[in-house]
Amino acid sequence: MTVHEERDSEFERRTRTVLEESVARVDSRIRWRLAHARRAALMQEETRLHRSFWRSFGLLPVAGTAAAAALVAVMLWIDRPERSAPVGEGMQATLEDIDLFADGETLELIEGWERGFYEWAVAQAELSGEASG
Amino acid sequence: MPAASSGDVDLLESTANAVSASARTDALDRFLAEVEVKAFRIAQTALHHEDDAMDAVQDAMLQLVRSYADRPAEEWKPLFYRILENRIRDALRRRTVRGRIFAWLPARHRGDEEEEADPVMDAPSDDPPPARRLEMDDAVQALEKALRSLPRRQQQVFLLRNLEGLDVAQTALAMGCSEGSVKTHYFRALQALRAQLGDFRI
């Protein structure tokens, strides 16, 4: 290291000491305001994250309703009396139906169906029952 | 053990994300607490105004948390100082525009925005400070005056390297320039300060 570089690094060391002293002298009022600003920034971010976290729970009731509706539809389909297919075939169809209704995209479609459909389906099942009985 | 349904997996993912977000918020809190006072001093040296400096630091905090919280923690410091520098530049630009507008108004209106002196805050302490403190007071004032006389880029590079302790690469990232420019600005800043302050004995 040359004499000039040594003088520079000594100068840098002194200026660093003075700069650190100037930071240490920042009064408590300023420090309080800075801490307050930091908490405000972090709180804003936390609020945003919490909102997105709870939004995922908000979809659960909708999915539950759709799943219940799908289950009713499947039960009605199974109880149709004119169905006389072999047990193995019936089970296969039921499993396919469950797969169909368990599919996320299908559930979204079911949400759009009206209650009239189910009433009609129940009425059809009853009529079929009377006709066969 | 039955396999988890997709709903359970979503729930687990949401919970895991919330936990990691909480850890990240703690890390951000520690980082900002570490840099906030130095950042304020840098902004205050550039802007010569307490409230403007506070606004710049607060905006930089918000922007970092909002836009860069997901970045690796080692990138936060240069990013934070990059944002702060942009805020300082915006404030200086606004001040220039405002100065041009007020230059057309009668002189008595110009001092309206100046801070009123607080007699309690400005009152000298009754206790005579020790000689060492007086010496340091002089050194702080002299260095501050010399720093304010520097061009912005030189002032910025000197403070980022000496006060914040950023290396050449981090300073280049914070300033949005090449490492060569950082070295040039720093060398010139050092020369200018030495010319003003001499050996700067403290």
Q: Encode pLDDT of B130-155 as tens digits.
A: 677 788 888 899 999 999 999 999 99
Interface of A with B (CB under 8 A): 7-8, 11-12, 14-23, 25-26, 30-31, 33-35, 37-38, 40-42, 44-46, 49-50, 53, 56-57, 60, 63, 104
Has residue B198 got a pLDDT over 60?
yes
Per mean pLDDT, which range of A80-84, B93-97, B139-143 is the poorest? Answer: A80-84
Residues in Cβ contact with B175 at an 8 Å cutoff, skipping those fewer than 6 apart: B82, B85, B153, B156, B157, B160, B181, B182
Has residue A106 got a pLDDT over 60?
no
Q: A35 and A66 share a domain?
A: no
Q: To the nearest 5 percent, what fractions of chain A are helix, strand and coil?
A: 85, 0, 15
* Chain A residues within an 8 Å CB radius of B6: 104
Which pLDDT score, from 0 to 100, does residue A64 have?
74
Read off φ and ψ for residue B80, nearest 5 degrees. Answer: -60, -45
Average pLDDT of the residues in A70-98: 68
Which pLDDT score, from 0 to 100, does residue A42 have?
92
Residue B37 and residue A23: Cβ atoms within 8 Å? yes
Average pLDDT of the residues in A33-62: 77
CB neighbours of residue B78 within 10 Å: 21
Q: A123 and A67 share a domain?
A: yes
Which pLDDT score, from 0 to 100, does residue B1 have?
46
Say how many Å lie between the first and final Cα of chain B, rounded: 72
H or E segment at B80? helix B73-102
Among A34, A57, A80, the domain boundary falls at A57
CA distance A55 to chain B (A): 10
* Chain B residues within an 8 Å CB radius of A42: 25, 28-29, 32, 65
Identify the band that residue B77 occupies on the pLDDT scale cut at 50, 70 and 90: very high
Report for A118-122, B109-113, B149-153: range of highest mean pLDDT = B149-153
Residue B36 and residue A37: Cβ atoms within 8 Å? yes
Q: A90 and A39 share a domain?
A: no
Q: A7 lies in which domain range? A: 3-57
The better pLDDT of the pair A52, B29 is held by: B29
pTM summary value: 0.62
Q: A64 and A122 share a domain?
A: yes
Which pair of tokens denotes residue A88? 């193995």
Position B197, amino acid: L
**Complex ipTM > 0.85:** no
Is B144 within 8 Å of A18 (Cβ atoms)? no
Query: How confident is the prediction for chain A on average, in pLDDT?
Result: 75
Whole-number Å distance between alpha carbons of A82 and B182? 85
Q: A67 and A30 share a domain?
A: no
Percentage, residues of chain B above pLDDT 90: 58
Q: Does B14 touch chain A (CB under 8 A)?
A: yes
Q: A14 and A66 share a domain?
A: no
Is B51 within 8 Å of A37 (Cβ atoms)? no
Query: How confident is the prediction for chain B on average, in pLDDT?
Result: 83
* Chain A residues within an 8 Å CB radius of B65: 41-42, 44-45
Q: A92 and A128 share a domain?
A: yes
Average pLDDT of the residues in A105-123: 67
The structural domains of chain B, ordered by start, are 7-109 (no CATH), 129-197 (1.10.10.10)
Q: How many CB pairs under 8 A join A and B?
A: 110
Residue A86: strand, helix, or coil? coil
Whole-number Å distance between alpha carbons of A33 and A88? 74
Average pLDDT of the residues in B168-182: 94
* Chain B residues within an 8 Å CB radius of A14: 200-202
Number of domains in chain A: 2
Residue that has been written with the tokens 């979204």 in this structure: A108
Q: A84 and A128 share a domain?
A: yes
CA distance B100 to chain A (A): 30
Has residue B171 got a pLDDT over 90?
yes
Q: A44 and A92 share a domain?
A: no
Residue A34 and residue B57: Cβ atoms within 8 Å? yes
Which pair of tokens denotes residue B164? 């914040």
Which pLDDT score, from 0 to 100, does residue B111 have?
46
Instruction: Output the CA torsion sign for A124, A129, A130, A131.
Output: positive
Has residue B30 got a pLDDT over 90?
yes
Average pLDDT of the residues in B169-192: 94
Q: A71 and A128 share a domain?
A: yes
Which pLDDT score, from 0 to 100, does residue A119 have?
81
